[in-house]
Structure 1
Amino acid sequence: MERAPGLSVRLRLTLSYAGFLMLAGVMLLASVWVFILRNLPEYTGVPGGVLIRSTLMHDFASAAGVELFILLMVGLGGGWLLAGRMLAPLNRITNATRLATSGSLSHRIRLPGRRDEFRELADDFDGMLARLEAHVAEQRRFAANASHELRTPLAISKALLDVARTDPDCDTDEVIERLDTVNTRAIDLTEALLLLSRADQRSFVRENVDLSLLAEEAAETLLPLAEKRGITIETSGEITPVVGSRTLLLQLNMNLMQNAIVHNLPEDGTVWVNTSVRARTVVLTVENTGEKLTPQLVATLTEPFQRGTERIHTDHAGVGLGLAIVKTITQAHDGTLTLTPRPAGGMRVTVELPTTAPRW
């Protein structure tokens, strides 16, 4: 936004300080004039002669003018110094803002001293820069990983086509089948990226949703996959009303349950799904059996394309965005996501969302 040039804040503070100082001086001299000089008699005897009131008032006016001039100079000089001292923290904040707009997000103000308005502003600005720097770094990692993940199926497709083109004896049906598998993975990855972007931008319509019904729907949809892998799904809980996107919240349930099914024991595994209501939130909990996990590994699983390699099965590895999408959907609904390793093996995922009174 373009603005016309104006007086600096330091100059305005200086003029304000000098103006108030001059006003106080004028009021003080006026009180002397009114309450002292005007009440003097016309002639006043003093040691060594007689003092005429008019002469005294003339001398007082001359001295008052000099004093006011000196007071103005002191007010301007002192106001300029004091304003500069008071605005020094603001100048540091301004310089940090300019560095941030130029792309440097690693700079911090770190304003010393006790807490006041300027230091609170500086601390909040440092916190904002830290969050922004972390977000930008995460986006850069995401872009690099997404490019790598998208390039992989394209490179495989090109290699398969080159083989089919140069080898007349190759099995065409096998090449087509492998191309179909690679293409399906690329489509799944693209759709996951689009869903992640949509949730991150919060570009969705909010409506009244029962999270428990979505959990049941997701469990029914994934039941064939669970039966194929010998996994039992157990659902329980109560009505959990929230306001949000039905599509995104269903996707959240699908991703959590699919992740719990795929990363489970080879056979006779279990997935527990529970919904509950607290004072101001509703809670969705998905637990599963599986291998023992470390807290360090669990802490990385919500990052895009981060996988626990020891937990990946070759027949259903996914695209590495399942829990990242869950995290983004949860944040888009002003909720919190917590991942905790279970002592007996497997993981517990807890999604806590703001509740609302049911309207259906």
Structure 2
Amino acid sequence: MARASGLSVRLKLTLSYAGLLMVAGVLLLAVVWVFLLRYVPDQAVTLPERMPPDGGIWGPGLFIPGRSDLWRAFAPKASIALSFLLVFGLVGGWLLAGRMLAPLTRITDATRMATNGSLSHRIRLPGRRDEFRELADAFDTMLTRLEAHVAEQRRFAANASHELRTPLAISKTLLDVARAHPNHDTGELIDRLHALNTRTIDLTEALLLLSRAGQRSFTRECVDLSLLAEEATETLLPLAEKRGVTIETCGDITPTMGSQALLLQLTMNLVHNAIVHNLPGQGAVWVTTSLRARTVLLTVENTGEQLTPALASTLTEPFQRGTERVYSDHAGVGLGLAIVKTITHAHDGTLTLTPRAAGGLRIAVELPAAAPPIDR
């Protein structure tokens, strides 16, 4: 927004310092003047230096000035003192304001650099903690988070573009082949195009869900995670039976505040991920809910391949599928755990991924517990 130019903060502080110093000087001179008036008569008086007993006057008289005489002597000196105070206040105030505002200049320069796209610069203001130091540290923290967010968004955009381009390129190839061979059987072509189109729709819906969850634009209500775990388990039980995976669900009632639809999606993604990335024919999944002092915990564990902590920490990144990128009818679109991470953060929770010693993964979602209802 365009603004009219005005006085700089340094000049305003300088004038404020000088004005305060002038007011203090005027008040001090006024106190001195009032104090002197108590001992000065209204008119000038001449007193005899010595008075003999007979009443005669001996020697020269003693002259006592009046208030008008005192004013003529006091006013020039007071004007000189006030002029000195004015000059001293302006010069000293200008230097003092510049010294006080030096950290603000560094913060302003860093802000301009960030506006121009340089997010790697940090202020790193030295010295002890004060208001400017707290502002600089908060700004550095904001830049760190913003740089990480921008880098994450760039990686996400690149991965999403690649994921969307792949099925579109395959569709184009299939259509080119069909155009070059018009007498070819179209049944197989239609089936493959249908599968590609379904996958593209799933990917688009997952991207939209990821965006909506990150905006936190949802109504919070009391949700029981144990009921969501049972619903997700019942829904995905046919998939588990098809892949030979057993599911065990247990736990306490775990009330929390949030969106039931998003938390159900979170639970579905966790259970689906545990079923798909498992040992074929002999896998197992354990879904547990527990209630703590101020939080509720949803834990999903599964058997599977050995994972390293470094690899487990990357699984919440978009389009990551463990040790390799596997496409199948139930492999998903690579956004399952990314959506879980976004929904967890939108509900002010924490997400922890820990490799199991026997193979597989343990995923824990910890959310704030809902406050108990107040009896009336």
TM-score (ref. length: structure 2): 0.89
How far did 1:36 drift?
3.5
Aligned residue identity for 2:75: A
Give deviations 1:4-49, integer Å, cap 9, x for gaps.
4433221221111111111221222222222235415656999x99
SS in 1 for 2:366: strand
Structure 1 counterpart of 2:359, from 345, 351, 355: 345
- Native 8 Å contact 1:291 1:311 kept in 2: no
Are residues 308 and 69 of structure 1, via their aligned partners in 2, closer, same or farther at CA, if it must alter by over 3 Å? same
How far did 1:133 drift?
1.2
Are residues 58 and 218 of structure 1, via their aligned partners in 2, closer, same or farther at CA, if it must alter by over 3 Å? same
> For the residues of structure 1 that align with 2:85 and 2:6, how far apart are their CA atoms?
26
The equivalent of 2:245 in structure 1 is 231
Aligned residue identity for 2:141: G
- Native 8 Å contact 1:37 1:53 kept in 2: no
TM alignment of 1:1-360, pairs within 5 A: 1-36=1-36, 38-40=38-40, 52-54=64-66, 55-168=69-182, 170-310=184-324, 312=326, 314-357=328-371
Q: Which moved more, 1:107-116 or 1:166-175?
A: 166-175
SS in 2 for 1:114: coil
SS in 2 for 1:232: strand
Q: Which moved more, 1:114-123 or 1:8-17?
A: 8-17
Aligned residue identity for 2:35: F
Give deviations 1:221-271, integer Å, cap 9, x for gaps.
000111111111100111111121111111100100010011111222111
> For the residues of structure 1 that align with 2:71 and 2:45, how far apart are their CA atoms?
12
Q: Which has the larger radius of gyration?
A: 2
How far did 1:350 drift?
0.7
SS in 2 for 1:7: coil
> For the residues of structure 2 that align with 1:31 and 1:185, how far apart are their CA atoms?
88
> For the residues of structure 1 that align with 2:30 and 2:46, how far apart are their CA atoms?
21
> For the residues of structure 1 that align with 2:191 and 2:330, how far apart are their CA atoms?
17
- Native 8 Å contact 1:202 1:332 kept in 2: yes
Q: Which moved more, 1:4-13 or 1:36-45?
A: 36-45
How far did 1:60 drift?
2.1
- Native 8 Å contact 1:226 1:232 kept in 2: yes
TM-score (ref. length: structure 1): 0.93
Give deviations 1:244-299, integer Å, cap 9, x for gaps.
11111111001000100111112221111111111111110111111111010011
> For the residues of structure 2 that align with 1:210 and 1:103, how far apart are their CA atoms?
44
SS in 2 for 1:283: strand
* CA RMSD between the two structures: 2.2
Give deviations 1:184-241, integer Å, cap 9, x for gaps.
1111111111111111112222222111101100000000111111111100111111
**Once the two structures are aligned, what percentage of the paired residues are identical?**
76
Are residues 175 and 26 of structure 1, via their aligned partners in 2, closer, same or farther at CA, if it must alter by over 3 Å? same
Are residues 51 and 141 of structure 1, via their aligned partners in 2, closer, same or farther at CA, if it must alter by over 3 Å? farther
Give deviations 1:62-119, integer Å, cap 9, x for gaps.
1111110110110011111101110111122122222222322222211111111001
Are residues 187 and 311 of structure 1, via their aligned partners in 2, closer, same or farther at CA, if it must alter by over 3 Å? closer
> For the residues of structure 2 that align with 1:269 and 1:195, how far apart are their CA atoms?
29
Aligned residue identity for 1:163: V
SS in 2 for 1:234: strand
Unaligned runs of 5+ in 2: 50-59
The number of residue pairs the alignment matches comes to: 358
> For the residues of structure 2 that align with 1:356 and 1:317, how far apart are their CA atoms?
34
SS in 1 for 2:286: strand
Give deviations 1:303-339, integer Å, cap 9, x for gaps.
1112223484745322110000000111111111111
